[in-house]
Amino acid sequence: ELKVEQNPLFLSMQEGKNYTIYCNYSTTSDRLYWYRQDPGKSLESLFVLLSNGAVKQEGRLMASLDTKARLSTLHITAAVHDLSATYFCAYRSSSARQLTFGSGTQLTVLP
Amino acid sequence: GAGVSQSPRYKVAKRGQDVALRCDPISGHVSLFWYQQALGQGPEFLTYFQNEAQLDKSGLPSDRFFAERPEGSVSTLKIQRTQQEDSAVYLCASSLTSGGTYEQYFGPGTRLTVT
């Protein structure tokens, strides 16, 4: 069974702090994706990671991929309130076209 | 440019009614996906089209769910005899098929409430 496990599921952090969200997946993947979802909104693509060791950064967010460990991380640096949202990781297995999503991490950044 | 659009944005149906949800993908995107997102969960795959061909419908939860994309562009997800457990947000996504990232672009979703 294809599975994606994210942790933590809920995260409250103060502005200015750093934290990491972890995403473990169960099988060989050739693509790993991070999405952001605001309440009542659709999914906004943040990062696409294509190969082992890939690292991408945008503003205060940095994503990385370790295909050997089947682990991706989303690191938040010096959090600000605008980052409050739910973050999903998803992977596309080598044998399927669809994405398999984790349960999401609901991030709340407190002043 | 225009993204993926879906209509209606909200739908309330009485149990037993049939509903039809529409998706307009990004122009030129060959692949189209439907996902179901329950409250507080990640999206779950329902079905996938490449052009007009439905290549994978393994995620459809029952034979009450039916999807089509007759001309390889607009797609409709139909749910017959709706049940309360069908209440969810239905997301449509489209992507290019060949090469690159296979990134999927999502529409705003249709929130279905079955009463």
Tens digit of each residue's pLDDT (9 = 90 or more) over A52-94: 888 999 999 999 999 889 999 999 999 999 999 999 999 887 7
B5-114 classified as CATH 2.60.40.10? yes
The residue type found at A44 is: E
Residue A22 in any domain: the answer is yes
Identify all chain B residues contacting A24, using CB atoms and an 8 Å cutoff. none
Q: Which residues of B touch A101 (CB under 8 A)?
A: 42-44
Q: What is the pLDDT of residue A105?
A: 97
- Share the mean pLDDT of chain B: 94
* Alpha-carbon distance values, A77 to A21, A60, A71, A72, B40 (Å): 12, 5, 19, 16, 25
Of the two residues B57 and B102, the one the predictor is more confident about is: B57
pLDDT tens digits, B48-93: 999 999 999 999 999 999 999 999 999 999 999 999 999 999 999 9
Q: Does any CB of chain A come closer than 8 Å to the CB of residue B59?
A: yes
Q: Express each pLDDT in A29-44 by its tens digit.
A: 668 999 999 988 889 9
Residues 6+ apart with CB under 8 A from B53: none
pLDDT tens per residue across span B4-17: 999 999 999 999 99
| H or E stretch covering A37 | strand A29-37
For the domain that residue A8 is a member of, what is the CATH number?
2.60.40.10
Instruction: Report the alpha-carbon distance of residue A98 to residue B26 in Å, rounded.
Output: 17
* Contact between residue B47 and residue B75 where contact means Cβ atoms under 8 Å apart: no
Number of separate domains in chain A? 1
CB contact under 8 A, A100 and B45: yes
Would you call B10 an interface residue with chain A, using a CB distance cutoff of 8 Å?
no
For residue A109, is it within any domain? Answer: no
In a domain, residue A75? The reply is: yes
Has residue A108 been placed in a domain?
A: no
Tell me, yes or no, whether A111 lies in a domain.
Answer: no
pLDDT average, residue stretch B31-56: 95
**Is B33's Cβ below 8 Å from some Cβ in A?**
yes
Q: Where in the sequence is the domain holding A49, given as residue range(s)?
A: 4-103
Closest CA to A14 of A109, A96, A90, A86: A109
Residues of chain A whose beta carbon is less than 8 angstroms from a beta carbon of chain B are: 4, 31, 33, 35, 41-45, 48, 50, 88, 90, 92, 96-104
